[in-house]
C-alpha cells in the first residue's frame, strides 16, 4: 500500500519534537531565557495546533470525539498515570512523601493545568482533544475561522484582565483553536508567493523584537499581542523551509533518517520525555547538585533521552503491531 504520509510534515514534526525535548532540557541552564538562546522556534507550540488544522478532515461530531479520545485521551491517561507513579516513587525515594503531595497536588494540577507532576508537558493532549472537537463542530457550521477569531479575542482579553485560576482547559483551548483555524484556512495557501513572502518578512522582522521571548514571560503588551500573528508567520515560513528540505536531493538520507523517524513517531517521543527530564535532573541534584545548571547535567539528560526514548518507541510500536496481528 502506498504511504499517505507527507515527507515535509514528518521532517517538520521531527524537528519540532526534538526542539521540545531540547527546550525543556536547557531550562536548568537558562531558565525563562530559553528562547533567547535559540529564538527561531518561538512558535513551536502554536505550530502543533496549526499543523493539526492543516491535516484536519471534518467528520461526524460523535466520530471525531471518539477518534480523538482514543488517540489523545488514552495516551494522556496512560502517561499521566505513569508520571504520577514516578512522582510517588521519587518522593518515596527522597523520603518526603505526604498525602497532600501524593494526592492533592496531582489532582489540583490535573484540574487547573491539565497535567500531573513529572509529566507537565502532557497538557497539550487534552487541549488538542478539545480544539479538534470544537473545531470540527465549527467546521460543520462553516464558522471555523470566526470561532478561531473569537478564541483569539478572548485570549487577548485575558492579557488585559487577569482571571485568577483560569484553567488551561479554557485558556489553552481558545488560543489553540485560533491556530488550528488558521492552519485549516492556510493549508492550501502556504506556497502562494504573496503569502509565503509576507510570512517570511513578518517572521524575520519578529526576530529583531522581543516577540520570541513572550513565551518565556516578556511583559510588554504590544509584543504579547503581536506574538499571535508573528507565530502564524513563523508556522508558514517553517513549513515552506521544510518543503525545500524535503525536495533537496542532498538531504535524501535525512528524509529517511532519524529526524523523519522522530516525526513519524512524534507521540511516542513526546509523551514520556518529561518524566525522563524530571527523574534525570532530580538524580543529578541528589548526587551531583553542582551539575544541575551546567553542560554536564544537560548532556546527561540528552543522553538519557537518546537511550530511553527509542526503546520506549520500539516497545510501543511492537505492542501496536502485536495488537494488529491479533485483530487479523
Contact between 322 and 290 under an 8 Å Cβ cutoff? The reply is no
Asked if pLDDT for residue 291 goes beyond 80, the answer is yes
Question: What pLDDT does 35 receive?
Answer: 67
Confidence of residue 17 (pLDDT cuts 50, 70, 90): very high
248 against 182, higher pLDDT: 182
Q: Average the pLDDT over 1-19 and give the result.
A: 82
The DSSP-derived string for 80-124 is HHHHHHHHHHHHHHHT---HIIIIIHHHHHHHHHSS-TT-GGGGH
Whole-number pLDDT of residue 30: 79
- Evaluate if residue 243 carries a pLDDT over 70: yes
Q: Does residue 290 register a pLDDT over 80? A: yes
Burial of residue 253 (number of CB atoms within 10 Å: 0-12, 13-18, 19+):
exposed
Confidence at residue 250, expressed as pLDDT on a 0 to 100 scale: 54
Band (pLDDT 50/70/90 cuts) for residue 321 is: confident
**C-alpha distances in Å from residue 311, one per residue of 253, 258, 315, 317:** 22, 14, 6, 10
The reported pLDDT for the residue numbered 125 is: 97
pLDDT in tens, 65-85: 999 999 999 999 999 999 999
Handedness of CA 137, 52, 46, 272 (dihedral sign): positive
Whether the CB-CB separation of 269 and 13 falls below 8 Å is answered with no
With a CB cutoff of 8 Å and minimum separation 6, the contacts of 280 are 300, 301, 304
Whether the predicted pLDDT of 2 surpasses 50: no
Statement: residue 1 has pLDDT above 50? no
Q: Is 100 left (phi over 0), alpha (psi -120 to 50) or beta?
A: alpha
Is the pLDDT reported for residue 159 higher than 80?
yes
Q: Which of 86-95, 207-216, 228-237 has the lowest mean pLDDT?
A: 207-216
Are 225 and 175 spatial neighbours (Cβ–Cβ below 8 Å)? no
Of 175 and 218, the one with more pLDDT: 175
| pLDDT level of residue 256 (50, 70, 90 thresholds) | low
Name the pTM for this structure. Answer: 0.93
Percent share of the chain, pLDDT over 70: 94
CB 106 within 8 A of CB 116: yes
Amino acid at each position: 500500500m502506498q504511504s499517505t504520509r507527507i515527507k515535509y510534515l514528518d521532517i517538520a514534526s521531527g524537528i519540532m519534537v526534538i526542539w521540545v525535548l531540547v527546550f525543556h532540557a536547557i531550562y536548568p541552564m537558562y531558565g525563562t531565557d530559553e528562547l533567547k538562546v535559540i529564538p527561531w522556534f518561538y512558535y513551536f507550540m502554536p505550530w502543533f495546533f496549526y499543523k493539526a488544522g492543516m491535516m484536519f478532515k471534518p467528520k461526524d461530531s460523535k466520530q471525531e470525539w471518539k477518534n480523538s479520545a482514543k488517540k489523545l485521551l488514552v495516551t494522556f491517561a496512560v502517561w499521566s498515570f505513569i508520571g504520577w507513579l514516578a512522582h510517588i516513587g521519587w518522593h518515596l525515594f527522597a523520603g518526603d512523601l505526604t498525602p497532600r503531595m501524593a494526592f492533592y497536588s496531582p489532582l489540583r494540577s490535573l484540574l487547573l493545568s491539565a497535567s500531573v507532576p513529572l509529566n507537565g508537558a502532557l497538557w497539550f493532549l487534552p487541549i488538542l482533544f478539545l480544539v479538534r472537537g470544537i473545531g470540527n463542530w465549527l467546521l460543520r457550521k462553516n464558522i471555523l475561522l470566526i470561532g478561531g477569531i473569537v478564541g483569539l479575542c478572548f485570549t487577548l482579553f485575558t492579557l488585559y484582565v487577569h482571571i485568577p485560576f483560569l484553567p488551561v482547559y479554557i485558556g489553552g483551548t481558545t488560543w489553540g483553536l485560533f491556530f488550528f483555524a488558521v492552519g485549516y484556512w492556510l493549508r492550501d495557501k502556504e506556497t502562494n508567493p504573496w503569502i509565503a513572502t509576507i510570512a517570511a518578512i513578518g517572521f524575520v522582522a519578529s526576530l529583531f523584537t522581543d516577540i520570541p521571548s513572550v513565551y518565556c514571560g516578556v511583559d510588554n503588551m504590544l509584543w504579547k499581542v503581536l506574538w499571535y500573528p508573528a507565530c502564524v508567520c513563523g508556522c508558514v515560513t517553517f513549513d515552506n523551509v521544510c518543503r525545500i528540505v524535503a525536495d533537496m536531493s542532498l538531504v535524501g538520507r535525512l528524509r529517511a533518517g532519524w529526524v523523519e523517524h522522530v516525526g513519524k513517531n512524534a507521540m511516542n517521543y513526546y509523551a514520556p520525555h518529561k518524566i525522563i527530564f524530571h527523574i534525570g535532573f532530580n538524580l543529578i541534584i541528589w548526587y551531583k547538585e553542582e551539575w544541575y545548571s551546567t553542560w554536564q547535567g544537560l548532556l546527561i539528560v540528552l543522553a538519557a533521552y537518546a537511550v530511553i526514548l527509542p526503546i520506549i518507541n520500539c516497545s510501543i510500536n511492537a505492542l501496536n503491531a502485536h495488537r494488529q496481528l491479533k485483530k487479523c
